Amino acid sequence: MWTCYDYDTETGADVAYILLADVHPGESAIKLVQAQVRPEQEVSSSIDKAVRSLILEFDDEDRLIAIEVWGASGSLPKSFLDTAAREARPRPEKEK
């Protein structure tokens, strides 16, 4: 698993990225799906906003390989963001 966190006050970036697969198909094969809330019970507006900030990435075999979290500072624990921001190894390369 690989994580990173991009926060930039100038550009407004506040995105965490969680890559679940070290090897994945090329970018052209990835399918993006934005999550939607379908609660079985009432949820707060902050939970609704957090779920709507998720972009799920699936590979060409429909397996979940990555999660993007937009507005990450409002949805994820600070400890996770601090660790992800310090990620030193480069993002894994796509399968060749």
Task: Specify the pLDDT at position 14.
Answer: 92
Cα–Cα distance list, 86 to 9, 18, 19, 57, 90 (Å): 18, 14, 15, 23, 11
Task: Tell me the per-residue pLDDT of 45-60, one tens digit each, with 9 for 90 and over.
Answer: 888 888 888 999 998 8
Cα–Cα distance list, 30 to 19, 37, 42 (Å): 12, 22, 32
> pTM of the predicted model, to two decimals?
0.78
